[in-house]
Amino acid sequence: MGRKKIHDKVPTHDEMMIPTLEALKLLGGSGSIEEINEKVYEVAGYDEEILEVPHDENGVQTKVEYRLAWARTYLKKYGLIDNSSRGVWALNNNEIDTTNLNPNQILKEVREQARKPKSDKIKTIKEVESDIEEEVEDQIDWKESLISIILKIEPSAFERLCQRILRESGFVQVEVTGKSGDGGIDGKGIVRLNGFLSFHVFFQSKRYKGSVGSGDIRDFRGAMQGRADKGLFITTGNFTREAIKEATRDGAPPIDLIDGELLCDKLKEFNLGVKTELIEDVSVNAEWFSKI
Each residue of 147-172: pLDDT tens digit? 989 999 988 899 999 999 999 998 99
Q: What is the CATH number of domain 154-290?
A: 3.40.1350.10
Tell me the pLDDT band of 1, cut-offs 50, 70 and 90. very low
The more confidently predicted of residues 44 and 114 is 44
Q: What sections of the chain are H helices per DSSP?
A: 3-9, 17-26, 33-44, 48-51, 63-78, 103-115, 125-138, 141-150, 155-168, 214-224, 241-247, 260-269, 286-290
Contacts 24+ apart (CB under 8 A), 4-10: 6/49, 6/50, 6/53, 7/53, 7/63, 9/47, 9/50, 10/50, 10/53, 10/63, 10/64, 10/67
pTM of the model: 0.67
Classify residue 118 as exposed, middle or buried by CB count within 10 Å of its CB (0-12, 13-18, 19+): exposed
Rounded CA-CA distance 219/43 in Å is: 31
Is the pLDDT assigned to residue 119 strictly greater than 60?
A: no
Going by C-alpha positions, the residue among 180, 192, 244, 179 that lies closest to residue 217 is: 244
Percent of the chain at pLDDT > 70 equals 82
Contact 11, 44 (CB under 8 A): yes
